[in-house]
């Protein structure tokens, strides 16, 4: 592993190494992400003798409870730095993952979900993004696009990897194995490879020499109270909320939902391939474009594609339509993920970015908690997923239209 001390050489900009390490950090949140937890859902239902709705409710309770802590985690990272925060959160997340293998009932499962979602999907994702933000200014969109693309690629391996481990060792042992992998990977990265800011090792954002000090290169930063008074903050947060709720809900109920359209379990799982292609491509392209294009049309594109993908879930028959569903959903989710990473620091600066994004992340994590339950309730009420899925598609498009006209903040 490259020592940060070697980054003092003028030809060795450490930001690219930070990008790599932070991508690994975000990718290794997989045990706390819906795409990872979904691999265990059927085993949890069978072993704990409970229902799918009960697991979805425990997931919601755990996620919402964990989300409450995220603004405090963001503020903590602002004050003490990414390195210190990441070290402690990594240890906690590794322990939470391993202990999930010991759950015996639905209450213990809900408590486990608190740890998984708060420390993994919430805190580590927030910190991993913040680590990249600190090292880039003019090329931040491009760097975050690479970060998001790499994260999605790692997360996409989770379902098959976790399923193989479960078949080989059982679901309880798999949680312990994953906890150990998280510990031996993330804790050394946090302790020995992370550098909070380029100024700490006599470098500047983007790695290019400048006559201006770093604080002038970065521009002024909004306080939390200033940021939350802007329409742009709440519009971008609303776009992220819809992406979190809809994408998580469709992923959580993927097999059952697509079963209505005649897809087998294998065909339903194959949807993740075009979804991955769409997500990776749009996260890179849209993230890179945030450095050069206005934000409003990019937000509209992300929301509109999310709405289109959601609607296609109701007509995703085996074959081309199913592939288009996965592709459109991936395009929307990837674009919104890239925008969420790039636009908050672009609009509001970095001095309070952990606190600002902590609020937005709380909304996104909360959305991912209630999304699966809303779809489950809608299905129970109508005996079909179609009405509630169409309603989600319409809501996504409405938010996209609002994003098209919202005024964006000034940094002068």
What pLDDT score does 217 carry? Answer: 54
pLDDT tens digits, one per residue of 33-58: 988 998 898 899 999 999 877 888 89
Whether residue 315 has pLDDT greater than 60: yes
CA 329 – CA 323 distance, rounded (Å): 10
**Domains of the chain with CATH codes:** 4-198+217-403 (1.20.1250.20)
Q: Are 83 and 326 in contact (CB under 8 A)?
A: no
Grade residue 237 by pLDDT with cuts at 50, 70 and 90.
very high
Q: How many CB atoms lie within 10 A of CB 193?
A: 20
Is pLDDT larger for residue 10 or for residue 406? 406
Grade residue 215 by pLDDT with cuts at 50, 70 and 90.
low
Closest CA to 116 of 172, 178, 26, 32: 32
Whether residue 212 has pLDDT greater than 70: no
Q: How many CB atoms lie within 10 A of CB 391?
A: 13
Q: Are 250 and 313 in contact (CB under 8 A)?
A: yes
CA 119 – CA 72 distance, rounded (Å): 12
| Least reliable range by pLDDT among 180-189, 212-221, 399-408 | 212-221
Q: Are 253 and 110 in contact (CB under 8 A)?
A: no
What pLDDT score does 8 carry? Answer: 47
What pLDDT score does 254 carry? Answer: 85
pLDDT tens digits, one per residue of 141-199: 899 889 988 888 898 889 889 989 999 999 999 999 999 999 999 999 999 999 999 98
- CA 196 to each of CA 14, 33, 135: distance values in angstroms, whole numbers, following the listed order: 11, 25, 8
What pLDDT score does 267 carry? Answer: 86
What pLDDT score does 2 carry? Answer: 53
Q: Mean pLDDT over residues 59-83, rounded?
A: 89
CA 246 – CA 14 distance, rounded (Å): 37
Percentage of residues of the chain with pLDDT beyond 90? 54
End-to-end CA distance of the chain: 40
Whether residue 255 has pLDDT greater than 90: no
pLDDT tens digits, one per residue of 364-398: 888 887 888 889 889 888 888 999 999 999 999 99
pLDDT tens digits, one per residue of 265-290: 788 878 888 988 998 899 889 988 98
pLDDT tens digits, one per residue of 88-135: 999 999 999 999 999 999 999 999 999 999 999 889 998 999 999 999
Whether residue 350 has pLDDT greater than 90: no
Grade residue 1 by pLDDT with cuts at 50, 70 and 90.
low
What pLDDT score does 42 carry? Answer: 86
Q: Mean pLDDT over residues 212-228, rounded?
A: 73
> At what angle are helices 353-382 and 70-80 packed, to 10 degrees?
160
What is the pLDDT of the chain when averaged over all its residues?
A: 89
């Amino acid at each position: 592993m490259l020592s940060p001390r070697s980054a003092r050489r003028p030809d060795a900009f450490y930001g690219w190494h930070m990008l790599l390490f932070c991508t690994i950090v975000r990718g290794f949140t997989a045990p706390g992400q819906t795409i990872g937890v979904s691999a265990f859902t059927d085993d949890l239902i069978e072993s704990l003798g409970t229902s799918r709705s009960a697991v979805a409710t425990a997931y919601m309770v755990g996620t919402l409870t964990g989300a409450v802590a995220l603004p405090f985690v963001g503020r903590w990272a602002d004050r003490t730095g990414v390195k210190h925060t990441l070290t402690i959160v990594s240890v906690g997340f590794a322990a939470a993952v391993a202990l999930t293998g010991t759950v015996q009932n639905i209450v213990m499962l809900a408590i486990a979900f608190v740890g998984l979602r708060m420390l993994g999907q919430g805190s580590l994702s927030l910190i991993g993004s913040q680590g990249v933000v600190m090292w880039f200014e003019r090329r931040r969109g491009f760097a975050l696009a690479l970060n998001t693309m790499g994260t999605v690629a790692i997360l996409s391996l989770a379902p098959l990897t976790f399923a193989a481990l479960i078949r080989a060792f059982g679901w309880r042992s798999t949680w312990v194995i994953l906890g150990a992998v998280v510990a031996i990977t993330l804790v050394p990265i946090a302790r020995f490879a992370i550098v909070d800011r380029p100024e700490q090792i006599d470098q500047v954002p983007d790695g290019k020499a400048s006559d201006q000090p770093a604080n002038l290169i970065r521009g002024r930063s909004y306080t939390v109270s200033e940021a939350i008074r802007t329409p742009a903050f709440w519009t971008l947060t609303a776009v992220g909320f819809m992406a979190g709720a809809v994408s998580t809900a469709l992923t959580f109920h993927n097999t059952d939902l697509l079963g209505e359209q005649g897809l087998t379990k294998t065909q339903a799982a194959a949807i993740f391939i075009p979804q991955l292609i769409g997500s990776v491509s749009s996260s890179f392209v849209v993230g890179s474009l945030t450095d050069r294009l206005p934000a409003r049309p990019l937000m509209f594109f992300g929301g509109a594609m999310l709405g289109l993908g959601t609607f296609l879930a109701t007509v995703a028959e085996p074959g081309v339509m199913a592939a288009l569903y996965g592709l459109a959903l991936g395009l929307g989710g990837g674009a919104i993920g890239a925008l969420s990473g790039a636009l908050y620091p672009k609009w509001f600066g970095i001095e309070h970015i952990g606190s600002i994004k902590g609020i937005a992340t709380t909304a996104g994590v909360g959305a991912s908690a209630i999304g699966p339950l809303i779809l489950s309730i809608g299905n129970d009420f109508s005996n079909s997923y179609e009405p509630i899925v169409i309603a989600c598609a319409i809501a996504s498009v409405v938010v996209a239209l609002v994003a098209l006209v919202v005024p964006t903040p000034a940094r002068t």
